[in-house]
Structure 1
Amino acid sequence: MIALALATAVSAAPAALFGHRQLRRRKAAAELRIDTPNGIDESGFVRIGGIEQWIEIRGEDTANPVLLDLHGGPGATNTYFAHRTRAWERHFTVVRWDMRGAGKTFGRGEQGTVCFDQLLADAVEVTGYVRERLRTNEVILLGNSFGSVFGLRLAREHPELYSAYVGTDQNVCGGEPDDIAFHETVRRLRSSGKGSAAAKLERMGADPTTWTAADWGLNAKLTASADPFVATMFKKLILPAMWFSPRHRLRDLKAGADGMKFSERVGVESVHFDAWRDGTRFDLPFFIFQGEHDSLTPAPRARRYFDDVQAPHKEFALITDATHFASFWQPEQFLELLLTKVRPVVVAARKG
């Protein structure tokens, strides 16, 4: 859906809009500038897993805890949202990484092997790079949507690498069959006169383990387009963030859209990951902050998994007036949760 919307916007944009885009990008670049004495603002390609992968590190004080952001999609880089989360950088050093198959990493060329296990191995290597580069053992793992699928395994298998796990748009695969969201999408499509689209979903069936990569991509697109809240979010949040990003040229936007299509192969692979079977015990603080209206990764399912989690400290919170991409739709509310729930636990562990 992001790829289609972006392609439509670029092709339809008159010359005046490109001029307006340049003005907005210059303003955003000025607001993103970091000039504090102990600040950091660096980005570039780092050799990870045998290929060059894009990593951005930003924060006003490198003594702050680190947030390692695992983006969703798969293939949907979060680097577009730096302007939305500028306030986070006063309290955390934010690290964003374009995984293989995503964003500027995809635009670089050779992707090597792109699969769930390889992304997991890459994430461990990125974590090591960040710990060494920032000379810290204090890394908070922040999993978004698809990134939260393998973020759970990272946090469970490598508690020595992370000081806490935070899931948002938490995607919980496996467990008891749950086709409520699927049938709600079919209902919404039919009620809005999109009977043929509803029929396509019904022919696919509600069991994601039987889908092809194309089926997985179609379900994601139709689920998003059928939800009016998500449609508003795409129009008011995602497309402006991409279009006015001062750090992304038009060819970067195209690479990002192409990467999402390319990465559907990993999306369909991820549905075979069973979070409950993989384990519900975590040897680190565990948090889930979920959009209350999320139709793509519904909050009740995330809550069911959370209730089964055993961890030395755990907390769950709803982000009000938010659907998917909750942390970027409500960045101030999300920051408040980080500051009042996560950071005190991390700082107390540091003092201890």
Structure 2
Amino acid sequence: MIATVAAIAATTAAAALATPVVALLPLLAHRALRRAQAAKTLRIESAHGIDEQGFVRIGGIDQWISVRGEDRANPVVVEIHGGPGATNSIYTSRTRSWGRHFTIVRWDMRGAGKTFGHGGPQGQGEATFERLYEDALEVTRHARGLLGAERVVLLANSYGSVFGLRLARNHPELYSAYVGTDQNIHTGGRDTSAHDALRERLRAAGKAKRLAQVEAIGADPHARTPQQQAAYAKISAQSDPLTLATLKKVVLGSMWLSPLHSLRDLRDFFRGQTFSERITEGTAGLDDRADGTRFEIPFFVFQGEHDVLTPVAAAKAFFDEVEAPVKRFALIEGCGHFASFSRPDHFLDLLLTHVRPAVTGRRRSTA
């Protein structure tokens, strides 16, 4: 996934560089106008609201954290973004409505986004899965202290859900509920169905060269280098028209128009993604079932119905084995990967219908 976004952006950038500067001025003017409009809609002016962004010392380095919401009394949601290295801060405008009902804590992980841009590649310290897991716990405790929340909702998407399952399972004292979307399930290499489906898509499309690449990389994630895993994710995303269209419209579109991101920030976003490829090393052998399917907190999975990167079948099979006080699985219609950001209002409706009542004890009003 990280390689796919970077590749599409590189192609776009190359085309831009080949375009005369004068021809780019209308595009940049349009971007400036749209960003200014978005900045206005993001303003939080309610008496009990919060809008704080900046660097916090986490795990020995400065890491960027945003805390936004219209009422500090609302449930707190701590997000764990995917990639690795694909920060969620670019979607702040798309998810503006979430802040009316929840206080959203967004964190650019070590090696990602503004955190990467602030410290550079030499200032990220130990960039490993284990270190980022400990960072996530520290971010959670920071959010609890800042907002006076005993526990928070853990919302994890895509590669972030690899952290999310382990955080939710191991620390029920910190989290009031787990919500996974683009839910990633590791099976210790046993399940090859996604690999088989990718090979079939490539074969049906007559993509012989890419098929040969995929077969050379192999089905066993244990045997892949981080670079091979990134290449594999790129081919997988580009093999599916819906995923590719979503990358261009939702992901790149959000980046380009984000009022929180300068052009330099966008450069750092892609540099951070490349840097973060190393995080996947050593996680391919994880086995979510072996680690346990019992959770002491409410457990929710909201998945795009056409997701080929983190397939519905794998997420649902794991969900079916989960034991939790409350659990719910729902499909987000018409979506593939990035479902929560493709249909943010529908995702919010799922949060309000299922998650908020589970953490507040109050049913959603029908008024």
Deviations 1:76-129 (A, max 9, x none): 000000011000100000010000011001111200001111111000000010
Query: Which residue matches 2:335?
Result: 322
Deviations 1:134-174 (A, max 9, x none): 11113100010111011100001100001000000000101
Amino acid at match of 1:253: L
Give 3-state SS (helix, strand or coil) of 2:335's partner. coil
Query: Which residue matches 1:10?
Result: 13
Choose the corresponding residue for 2:287, options 274, 286, 304: 274
Deviations 1:269-291 (A, max 9, x none): 32222111111111111111111
1:40 and 2:43 matched = no
Query: Which residue matches 1:87?
Result: 97
Query: Which residue matches 1:197?
Result: 210
Choose the corresponding residue for 2:259, options 230, 243, 246: 246
Q: How does 1:230-245 map to 2 (within 5 A)?
A: 230-245=243-258
Amino acid at match of 2:253: P
TM-score by length of 1: 0.97
Between the two proteins, the alignment pairs up a number of residues equal to 350
Partner Cα distance (1:269, 1:32) in 2: 39
Q: How does 1:97-246 map to 2 (within 5 A)?
A: 97-109=107-119, 110-174=123-187, 177-246=190-259
Deviations 1:30-89 (A, max 9, x none): 111111111111100000000000000000001000110100000000000001100010
1:304 and 2:317 matched = yes
Choose the corresponding residue for 2:29, options 19, 30, 35: 19
TM-score by length of 2: 0.93
Deviations 1:226-253 (A, max 9, x none): 0001011112211110001011011111
Partner Cα distance (2:109, 2:162) in 1: 14
1:11 Cα deviation after fit: 3.9
Q: Residue 153 of structure 2 contacts residue 178 of structure 2 at CA under 8 Å; is this kept in 1?
A: yes
Q: Residue 65 of structure 1 contacts residue 140 of structure 1 at CA under 8 Å; is this kept in 2?
A: yes
- State the identity %: 55
User: Displaced runs of 4+ in structure 1, greater than 6 A?
Assistant: none
Amino acid at match of 1:244: L
Partner Cα distance (2:362, 2:230) in 1: 41
Partner Cα distance (2:356, 2:151) in 1: 11
CA RMSD of aligned residues (A): 1.4
Partner Cα distance (2:124, 2:362) in 1: 38
